[in-house]
Amino acid sequence: MIELNLRVLPLEAWAPARARPLCIFGPCSAESREQVLGTAHAIAGRHPTCLFRAGVWKPRTRPGTFEGVGVAGLAWLRAVREETGLAVCTEVARAEHVEACLEHGIDALWIGARTTVNPFAVQEIADALAGVDIPVFVKNPINPDLELWAGALERVHARGIARLGAIHRGFQALDNRPFRNTPRWELAVELKTRCPELPVLCDVSHIAGSPGVIPWVAQRAIDLAMDGWMIETHIDPASARSDAGQQVTPDQLDTILAGLTMKSRTVDARDRDELEDLRSRIRALDDAVLELLARRLEISKAIGRYKQAHSVTVLQVDQWRKNLEEYTARGEALGLGAAFIEALYDCLHEESIRRQTAFQQEPAPEAQG
C-alpha cells in the first residue's frame, strides 16, 4: 500500500460538536442576499451545527452562464454567520480567492473538482494558505486518479493545514447513469485506508445529480463509514442559477435525512460473538485461498520452465482466453460476477506471466543506449 502520511487533526479534535456526520448544507451558488440568508435561516433551526456552503466563484463549463457573484457573496456569508451562528464555507480556485475569504472571515474552504486536477492551481492555493489555520476540504479530481487527489491533499497539508478533509463527489465516466458523476467508492475507501485520520466526506448532490437519487447516495456514504455529507440545499431550487436540477429545499432535506438509517462504527458487545465467529470463518477460508494461490503459482513457474525448455512462448493467448471464458462461466454458476472473475484472473495471469519470465534477467541499467 502506498502510504499517505498526513498529520491531520481527527474530526473529533477540531469539530467536536459537528463530528459525524459532518454536514455541509447550503446552495450551489450564492445568488442574492435574500436567497443566501433565506436558505440559511431555514437550515439553521434544524441543523445548528452544520457548515453552511455557497459558491461565490463558480467554475462553469461554458462561458456566458452564471459564474457567481464574486466577493459580494462573501459579505452575505458573513451575514449568515452573524444572523444564524452557522459556520460558513465556500470554494476557492485561486490564491486571490483564498485572500478574499480570509479577509472576510470565512470559516472553511474547499477546493473543487476542476481545480484538484491542476497541480499548479492547487499549489497556488496551498501557498496562499501558508501559515493560516483554517479547515480545508479537497474534492476528488474529475478523473478517477487517486494519486492526483492524494497529491492535492499533500500540497495543502505541506503548507501547514492540519484541519484537512477530502470530499468524494464522483467522477466523470462515459456513461454516468443513474448518477451525474459516477461514485467510485473504492477510491474513497482506499484514501481512508491510506490515512485513517483523514475525514472523508461525500458530496451527495454532485454524485446524485437529481433529488430522487440523493437518499441512495447518502445512505451508501453512511454504510461506508464516510465522515459526513455535502448536500446542496436551496430555498427555491427551481429558480437556482446553477445546478437547479439537483438541489433540494430545506424541507426536502429533512425528509431525506429522516429516511436514512444511521449506522454504528463499532460492534455492540452483544453482537460481537456472532460477528467474530463469521470473521474467523472468513479468516480460515482466506488462509486456504492463500495456500491454494501459492500452490497454483508454483505450477506456473514449472510451466514457465517447460516452455523455456521447449522454446514455447510464455503468452499463449488462445489458451488464456479459453481459460478465462471457462472460469467466468464457472464463476457465474457459483454466483460470482463476470467482472470480479475477470479482475481476479487478470491479476493472477499477470503474476503467472511474471513468474514464467522471472528467470530471465532484466537488462542491467547500463545496457541502456
Under the rule (CB under 6 A), what is the footprint of ligand PEP?
28, 55, 59, 91, 112-114, 139, 169, 203, 206
Please identify, using beta-carbon distances, which residue of 7 and 120 lies nearer to ligand PEP: 120
Query: How many residues make contact with Mn ion (CB under 5 A)?
Result: 2
- State whether the Cα torsion 81-111-126-124 is positive or negative: negative
169 binds, among ligand PEP, Mn ion, none (CB under 5 to 8 A by kind): ligand PEP
Of 161, 243, 248, 256, the one binding Mn ion by CB under 5 A: 243
Q: By C-beta, is 28 or 167 nearer to Mn ion?
A: 28
Nearest position to ligand PEP, beta carbon: 112
CB-nearer residue toward Mn ion: 165 or 170: 170
Nearer to ligand PEP, 6 or 207 (CB): 207
Minimum CB distance to ligand PEP, residue 170 (Å): 8
Residue 203 binding result from Mn ion, ligand PEP, none, given CB thresholds of 5 to 8 Å by partner type:
ligand PEP
55: left (phi over 0), alpha (psi -120 to 50) or beta: beta
- Which residue in the shown chain puts its C-beta closest to Mn ion? 28
Return the beta strands (E) in the chain as ranges: 22-26, 51-53, 87-92, 108-111, 136-139, 164-168, 200-203, 228-232
CB of 202 to Mn ion, least distance (A): 14
Nearer to Mn ion, 124 or 243 (CB): 243
Residues 6+ apart with CB under 8 A from 262: 222
Q: How, if at all, do strands 22-26 and 200-203 pair?
A: unpaired
Q: Are 74 and 56 in contact (CB under 8 A)?
A: yes
Mutual angle of helices 119-128 and 146-158, in 10-degree steps? 20
Q: Which residues contact 189 (CB under 8 A, 6 or more apart)?
A: 224
The residue among 21 and 170 lying less far from ligand PEP, judged by its C-beta, is: 170
Which is closer to ligand PEP, CB of 164 or CB of 341? 164
Q: Are 84 and 49 in contact (CB under 8 A)?
A: no
Binding pattern for the stretch 186-205 against Mn ion, x by CB under 5 A and - elsewhere: --------------------
Strand-pairing partners, residue 89, are 53, 108
Q: Is 97 exposed, middle or buried (0-12, 13-18, 19+ CB in 10 A)?
A: buried
Residue placing its CB nearer to ligand PEP in the complex, 92 or 256: 92
Of these partners, Mn ion, ligand PEP, none, which one is at the site of residue 241 (CB under 5 to 8 Å by kind)? Answer: none
* Interatomic CA distance for residues 13 and 9, integer angstroms: 6
- Strands 200-203, 228-232: pairing is parallel
Q: How far apart are CA 226 and CA 168, in angstroms?
A: 9
91 binds Mn ion (CB under 5 A): no
Q: Which does 192 bind (CB under 5 to 8 A by kind): ligand PEP, Mn ion, none?
A: none
Cβ nearer to Mn ion, comparing 30 with 122? 30
CB atoms within 10 A of CB 338: 13
The rounded distance, in Å, linking the Cα atoms of 317 and 304 is 15
Least distance in angstroms from the C-beta of 187 to Mn ion: 21
CB of 201 to ligand PEP, least distance (A): 11
How many C-beta neighbours within 10 Å does residue 122 have? 23
Instruction: Select the binding partner of residue 157 from ligand PEP, Mn ion, none (C-beta < 5 to 8 A, by kind).
Output: none
Fill in the per-residue mask, 323 to 342: x = in contact with Mn ion (CB under 5 A), - = not in contact: --------------------
Q: In 3D, which of 234, 164, 125, 123 has the Cα closest to residue 22?
A: 164
CB of 94 to ligand PEP, least distance (A): 14
User: Pattern of binders to Mn ion over 22-41, x per CB under 5 A?
Assistant: ------x-------------
Shortest separation between residue 59's beta carbon and ligand PEP, angstroms: 6
Residue 14 neighbours by CB under 8 Å, 6+ apart: 135, 162, 163
| Min CB(199)–Mn ion separation in Å | 21
Rule CB under 5 A: which residues touch Mn ion? 28, 243
